[in-house]
Amino acid sequence: MGLVLGAGVLGFLIFGGAAYIGQRHYEREAHKEAERIRTARAAEEARLKQEAERQKLAQERQAKIKRITIKLEKALGQVQSIDYRFRDVKKPEDWTWELVKKFERDIEEIRVSLNEYLEQELPGTGAAALVRDAVGQGGQSSEYYEYTRLHSMRAGIRSVLERLEFFVDRASQD
**Given its phi and psi angles, is residue 129 left (phi above 0), alpha (psi -120 to 50 degrees) or beta?**
alpha
Total domain count, the chain: 1
What string of DSSP letters covers 29-66? HHHHHHHHHHHHHHHHHHHHHHHHHHHHHHHHHHHHHH
* 91 φ/ψ angles, rounded to the nearest 5 degrees: -95, 140
Q: For residue range 60-69, what is the model confidence (pLDDT) as tens digits?
A: 889 999 999 9
Helix, strand, coil shares of the chain as percentages rounded to 5?
Answer: 85, 0, 15
Strands (E), 71-163: none
Task: Count other C-beta atoms under 10 Å from residue 136's C-beta.
Answer: 19
Question: Which DSSP category does 163 fall into?
Answer: T
State which residues form the domain around 145: 2-173
One digit per residue, pLDDT tens: the chain, 174 residues?
444 444 454 455 555 555 566 667 677 777 777 788 888 787 888 887 888 888 888 888 899 999 999 999 999 999 999 888 878 876 777 777 788 888 888 888 999 999 999 999 888 888 888 888 777 777 777 777 888 888 888 999 999 999 999 999 888 876
